[in-house]
Structure 1
Amino acid sequence: MSETPELTPEQRKVVDQPADARVLVTAGAGAGKTHTLVRRLDRLVDEEELSAGEILVLTFSRAAVRELSDRLTRHGEAARFVRARTFDSWALEVLLQVDVLGGWEDRSFGDRIDGAREAIENGLADELYGDDQLLHVVIDEVQDLVGARRELVETLLERFGCGFTVVGDPAQSIYGFTLGPKSTVEERQAETNRFFVWLRNTFGEELTELNLTANFRAQTSEAEIALGFGPQLRASAESGSGVTSLYDDLRTTLRSGALNLGTLDELIARAIGGWDGTTAILCRTNGQALQVSEQLHTAGVEHRLQRSARDRVAPAWLGLLIRAVDGALLSRARFDELAAALPLPAELSPAQLWRLLLRTGIGRGNDRSVDLRRLRAALASGRLPDELTAQPASRIVVSSFHRAKGLEFDQVVIVDPGVLRLDDDKKSKKTKARAIDPVDEARSLYVAMTRPRRELYWLDALDSAQIRLDRETGRWGRYGWRYWVRGGVEITGGDVFTDRPAGTKVFDADPLDMQEYLATRVRPGDEVTLERVVPEPIALDESPDYTIIHDGRPIGTASERFRTQLYRHMQTSRNYVPQNWPRLLTGVRIDAVETVAGSEAAGREAGLGPHGVWIAPRLMGLSVFVYDQKAEEDTGVTAR
């Protein structure tokens, strides 16, 4: 176990609260809250004598789960067996125990959150948590509890009356957008700080409020330049009325207090290759992050595009492992034998991976073998441990402000988010759904500016005039100056057909050879092209089929989800039927080769074993449409 840092007096006060205390902790950026929570959990187990099963730890992202789990492993003593979970994985876990036939594995994130709240509210979860089975709840980042998740937590704390330690910072409340694309500025503002108000109104004098004010992340004056805005942002959240100049003040501070590196091209030429440690390039929107990623790929700069917190990507080695086992059980000896030839992640040892697999696929009464049927079910329903679905480490990360929440880096480069076009926004026909909240934008910029440990830089603004969010599909797209022109669309996870192995649908290939090619020749960052199979769609309200081409070889086909959303993206009005489909989609990249669960019958027929598990490409990028010559003439789009 590595050396555990000493607690400050503020941290000690949080840690030493009794197990039945109801504690609200306001913790600023870099205030050491994760370290404090690890020591808090240690005390609950060691001195308050709570078992790991009597403590519920919830957080928002898998990155936060992994960090807390890693800290518990390295620094935790009594609490090293306490398990942290995301809201989604915990909600599904509750529902699978109280309503096993409800089909919750196939339901949406929102359905699961609502279902778990109703189950608790109606007493269905009393067998799990009633009669003092749940004694303490720990929740991180509670400023981001909005809408359905806020209601779930409020129901949980009211129903079981247990102690709790909840930690948050109103200055970093940036998830109002999760209320949905049609939510208004007023609705998003009303949710800001609402959970804090509920706690104070519900528990009154029983609520203990504490603060963590020190900063342990920023090691230089440049990394500290935004910290002074924290009190103003917290005050605006608590009062319900923001200071609209905060965004402009923060942007001015960024541009005057941090070093300007010029354009992205200049950054690539001058700095990226020479920096030590980790570097993040942060953008106001994910559309801009896609632009930056595209230019880095073109320049040959290895990097990672940060995924959404809801993406769960099972690594390729897991599929290769499962396919190599004929029976229903995997023993430790067989795992060790197979592990030597698998591309296992460097950050986890085979022993750690085995424990994760055992936790996921343990059979009843069996603690020495992994039940592959249970493991497959966890894979299919998105219930793999967060440690198994982590994005691989990278020296350079490209991310939106929102997706960088909770992360930290040695250097941070912020792409100038520009002046907020509030006047233009007010003229929009969809003002209520699209209006910009300048205080929310200030909080997002504050989050970005408080990510560095050492250096903070900024880049000139990108030219993003023709890259906009398609609100019908939630994808970023390339648009022309004429409203009907479509020049490209964002490619995301779920755009590859995975119900059957590659080579058994749309194009014919040996499935075993295809799996070998995917495992050995396809790498993250590789460029692929989506090639139209036939000019016209086969089904209504869909685009034609597209084949995914890697180095001249087909490796997969586009999913029904992609074809449906491409159709909607190409519609210029509700009644318009698209006629001209791109012949090619270029500029698409491999995000990962992932393990997927599909038809067991299709897997057996393809010679891939009895488990219905194989590997498939996962795509990303802001594509470029290449049209047939006639389509170019009809639309005015020039082929690229």
Structure 2
Amino acid sequence: MSVDLRDLDSDQLQAATAPRGPVAILAGAGTGKTRTITYRIAHLIDQGFASPGRVLAVTFTNRAAGEMRHRLGLMGIGGVQARTFHAAALRQLRYFWPQVAGDLPWRLIDNKFSLVGRAARSLGIATDTENIRDLLGEIEWAKATLIAPDGYAERAQNRKTPEPPDKVAEVYRRYEELKTTPEGIGLDFDDLLLHTAGALENSSAIAEEFREQYRTFVVDEYQDVTPLQQRVLDAWLGERDDLTVVGDANQTIYSFTGATPDYLLNFSRKYPHATVVKLQRDYRSTPQVTNLANEVIGKATGRVAGTRLKLQGMRPAGPDPEFDSYEDEPSEARAVAGRIRSLLDKGVPAHEIAVLYRINAQSATFEQALADAGIVYQVRGGEEFFQRAEIRQAISQLVRVAQIDGLAGGERLTKVVAAALAPLGLTDTEPEGAQARERWQSLKALAELSEELVVATPDLDLNGLLRKLQERAAAKHPPTMEGVTLASLHAAKGLEWDAVFLVGLTDGMLPITHAIKAGQEQIEEERRLFYVGVTRAREYLYHSYAKARQEGGRANRKRSRFLDGIVADPDAVTTSRRPRTQRCRVCGKPLETPTAKVLGRCEDCPSDAGEGVFEALRQWRLATATENQVPAYIVFTDATLMALAEAMPESLEEMLSVSGIGPVKVQNFGEEVLEVLEQFR
């Protein structure tokens, strides 16, 4: 085997061919870090500096580990262990446990929630889902940062905790006690790391055996390493330094889990002879996107900012990023849906479009707007694909078919799969109705994934296909589904799309309120989160925010401070440019409230709507809302109905001039509204 390095640029080549020993690759978004570290592993093996079975590559997700194994496989390299920290520790602990604990039985705890609930209940602490989740998060943070129950209260004095720190410490202590039963000891995922490190630190025999097996280490996303994970890595290495780390401090967004970029930032201090390479050529995004990303991160302060990378967009020029403000969230969501419809009409695939927000609760308004516009979407971070009821049912059906005809292969196999899924709802055409359509989309995605796997492995039979699907499920690697993606900024890390909409960009949401209260360090992490969102876009990038939550609500929100100095604020009042004052068409006074601005008159000034028009529109709205199973205001607010009654538009074009009505509303309800108004002409 000979590794062809001609596909690498000069910086990637320097990283891939760096001498064996400590190497830090500072890789910006879209710069080809996975390609680079894959080629580095291959080059080390090709040159005889490492053997495949003695390389351990650590990633942060099963999907990333699977991708690395796949790429190495395409290069003809097998045997490299590519795993997450926890998966690697679990494998090692199972092997070494008899030497550590003899015959003491242990079990892996994969549901910590119930144990934390029992611990909280025993102390009289609230056990609602949100509080238990927050308590569990605190325990996980403490373990990741190597804090025992006795030390938690002191270390958590400046943290926002779900209960007083001493109470959380006691929940933590009782949780640890509850894991041990007469049947044996229970270990959670953090314990896997703790016990693995302990075994290597305290037993020279175990350490010697492990270090004989693994000689070369690669760690991806090194900016997200926790103190506990670093302790494991140090135990793996011992006195050796054959280590390659890859990371970008600008993308440090998980400090709430205990992650810290300090190990990346201090790498050349720990290893003075280390090779440090920067990857800054961004092959993902247009120069317009990378220029904005550089502006965003260029305003960062603090220690992380000292190592910032400056991205160079390598794609052809594209459209400039856009920035918009709206009176309220429904208006913002309708406008986003309208722009997405335009992109779809231009030929941008739905699965190449994403709407990203700070917290999951923001998705509802956008889900409604996309549904109203007839645009298929999927919410990332919701139920995992392979855990959906229809997919579990489908795989069970395939297992039953395999018992009869498990050797079906090739083109016949794809037909067998399609026939097995047909009774479950996989038809030739997409059905009507939201639930039926969602089920159909899942089954279609499974059928298409099966076909892809058959094409990739022509001799695959049904039993082999089921094994492949099981591997994909374990790696949490779902198929690509045709639909616009809705996701939080955290869930979007590591992903990319042709078009990205960054929505809800207000102070108090990005940066989020608790970060503002916590101080500048947390605000800077929120800036990095914004940077991650910007760098998800390949070509089209839209930013937006709403000044009020609901139609007619108080417009008291301010746009995100992260836009300051990047794009002018259209709502800012300056001596040179003041916003136009909207005045009542009846009395001429300035209009103050959002409702008055929709009406175009003071709320207490007389209306010129014809008798009965407003009430007829309300009756129509009630029927429409009931039929669509949505709140009435989602269709139109009272203020918008009154504005329609007063304007009496005679065409769809005239309706667009009525405040609060956009293209999506006209498309969905325009003809029906005109029919109601026609009765009063």
Q: TM (normalized to structure 1)?
A: 0.55
Q: Tell me which amino acid in the other structure corresponds to 1:14.
A: A
Aligned to 1:341: 416
1:63-142 to structure 2, matched below 5 A, reads: 63-72=63-72, 76-79=74-77, 82=80, 84-99=82-97, 101-104=105-108, 106=110, 111-123=188-200, 126=206, 130-142=210-222
Matches of 1:423 and 1:139, distance apart in 2: 30
Aligned to 1:296: 370
Checking the alignment, whether the CA contact within 8 Å between 2:302 and 2:521 is kept in structure 1 is no
Matches of 2:257 and 2:21, distance apart in 1: 31
Q: 210, 225, 228: which is aligned to 1:148?
A: 228
Matches of 1:333 and 1:422, distance apart in 2: 53
Tell me: CA distance 1:164–1:354, structure 2 relative to 1, closer, same or farther (3 Å). Answer: farther
Tell me: CA distance 1:122–1:424, structure 2 relative to 1, closer, same or farther (3 Å). Answer: closer
Q: 523, 530, 543: which is aligned to 1:438?
A: 523
Aligned to 1:285: 359
Tell me: CA distance 1:454–1:72, structure 2 relative to 1, closer, same or farther (3 Å). Answer: farther
Tell me: CA distance 1:427–1:351, structure 2 relative to 1, closer, same or farther (3 Å). Answer: closer
Aligned to 1:212: 279
Q: Tell me which amino acid in the other structure corresponds to 2:55.
A: I
Residue 268 (1) aligns with residue 329 (2):
no
Aligned to 1:161: 240
3-state DSSP of counterpart to 2:58: strand
Shift of 1:217: 1.4
Tell me: CA distance 1:310–1:322, structure 2 relative to 1, closer, same or farther (3 Å). Answer: closer
Where in structure 1 are there 5+ consecutive unaligned residues?
180-190, 243-255, 359-368, 467-585, 588-640
3-state DSSP of counterpart to 1:217: coil
Matches of 2:507 and 2:513, distance apart in 1: 12
Q: 499, 507, 522: which is aligned to 1:411?
A: 499
Q: 234, 241, 249: which is aligned to 1:170?
A: 249
Tell me: CA distance 1:456–1:349, structure 2 relative to 1, closer, same or farther (3 Å). Answer: same
Matches of 1:150 and 1:308, distance apart in 2: 31
Matches of 2:272 and 2:339, distance apart in 1: 57
Checking the alignment, whether the CA contact within 8 Å between 2:247 and 2:264 is kept in structure 1 is no
Q: Tell me which amino acid in the other structure corresponds to 2:335.
A: E
Tell me: CA distance 1:384–1:459, structure 2 relative to 1, closer, same or farther (3 Å). Answer: same
Shift of 1:456: 0.9
1:8-407 to structure 2, matched below 5 A, reads: 8-18=9-19, 20-48=20-48, 50-72=50-72, 76-79=74-77, 82=80, 84-99=82-97, 101-104=105-108, 106=110, 111-123=188-200, 126=206, 130-157=210-237, 159=238, 161=240, 163-179=242-258, 192-197=260-265, 199-201=267-269, 203-230=270-297, 233=300, 236-237=303-304, 258-260=322-324, 263-272=332-341, 273-275=344-346, 276-277=348-349, 278-307=352-381, 313=387, 315-316=391-392, 317-325=394-402, 340-342=415-417, 344-347=446-449, 348-350=452-454, 386=474, 389-407=477-495
Q: Tell me which amino acid in the other structure corresponds to 2:448.
A: A
Shift of 1:279: 1.0
Tell me: CA distance 1:324–1:423, structure 2 relative to 1, closer, same or farther (3 Å). Answer: closer
3-state DSSP of counterpart to 1:29: coil
Matches of 2:293 and 2:44, distance apart in 1: 35
1:311-331 Cα shifts (integer Å, max 9, x gaps): 97485443333344559xx96
Checking the alignment, whether the CA contact within 8 Å between 1:425 and 1:435 is kept in structure 2 is no
Tell me: CA distance 1:70–1:178, structure 2 relative to 1, closer, same or farther (3 Å). Answer: same
Residue 447 (1) aligns with residue 532 (2):
yes
3-state DSSP of counterpart to 1:21: coil
1:420-476 Cα shifts (integer Å, max 9, x gaps): 389995899xx66x999211110000110111111111233386699xxxxxxxxxx
Q: Tell me which amino acid in the other structure corresponds to 1:172.
A: Q
Checking the alignment, whether the CA contact within 8 Å between 1:261 and 1:457 is kept in structure 2 is no
Shift of 1:105: 6.0
1:83-135 Cα shifts (integer Å, max 9, x gaps): 53333433333334344952126365962233233223313794896243112
Checking the alignment, whether the CA contact within 8 Å between 1:54 and 1:136 is kept in structure 2 is yes
Where in structure 2 are there 5+ consecutive unaligned residues?
99-104, 113-135, 141-187, 309-319, 327-331, 419-445, 552-628, 631-681
User: Larger strand proportion, structure 1 or 2?
Assistant: 1
Tell me: CA distance 1:102–1:333, structure 2 relative to 1, closer, same or farther (3 Å). Answer: farther
3-state DSSP of counterpart to 2:448: coil
Checking the alignment, whether the CA contact within 8 Å between 1:146 and 1:175 is kept in structure 2 is no
Matches of 1:234 and 1:128, distance apart in 2: 44
Shift of 1:300: 2.9
Shift of 1:411: 1.0
Tell me: CA distance 1:426–1:447, structure 2 relative to 1, closer, same or farther (3 Å). Answer: closer
Matches of 1:5 and 1:196, distance apart in 2: 28
1:148-175 Cα shifts (integer Å, max 9, x gaps): 3344334333x37351211111111001
3-state DSSP of counterpart to 1:26: strand
**Equivalenced residues, count:** 415
Checking the alignment, whether the CA contact within 8 Å between 1:415 and 1:459 is kept in structure 2 is yes
Tell me: CA distance 1:425–1:264, structure 2 relative to 1, closer, same or farther (3 Å). Answer: closer
Provide runs of 4+ in structure 1 moved above 6 Å.
308-312, 334-338, 353-358, 369-372, 421-424
1:165-209 Cα shifts (integer Å, max 9, x gaps): 111111110011224xxxxxxxxxxx53222255445x4324322
Checking the alignment, whether the CA contact within 8 Å between 1:57 and 1:85 is kept in structure 2 is yes
Shift of 1:352: 5.5
Checking the alignment, whether the CA contact within 8 Å between 2:22 and 2:244 is kept in structure 1 is yes
Tell me: CA distance 1:342–1:452, structure 2 relative to 1, closer, same or farther (3 Å). Answer: same
Q: Tell me which amino acid in the other structure corresponds to 1:405.
A: K
Shift of 1:8: 1.6
Matches of 1:164 and 1:280, distance apart in 2: 36
Shift of 1:389: 3.9
Tell me: CA distance 1:299–1:453, structure 2 relative to 1, closer, same or farther (3 Å). Answer: same
User: Larger helix proportion, structure 1 or 2?
Assistant: 2
Matches of 1:353 and 1:105, distance apart in 2: 36
1:505-557 Cα shifts (integer Å, max 9, x gaps): xxxxxxxxxxxxxxxxxxxxxxxxxxxxxxxxxxxxxxxxxxxxxxxxxxxxx
Aligned to 2:610: none
Shift of 1:392: 3.1
Tell me: CA distance 1:131–1:268, structure 2 relative to 1, closer, same or farther (3 Å). Answer: closer
3-state DSSP of counterpart to 1:35: helix
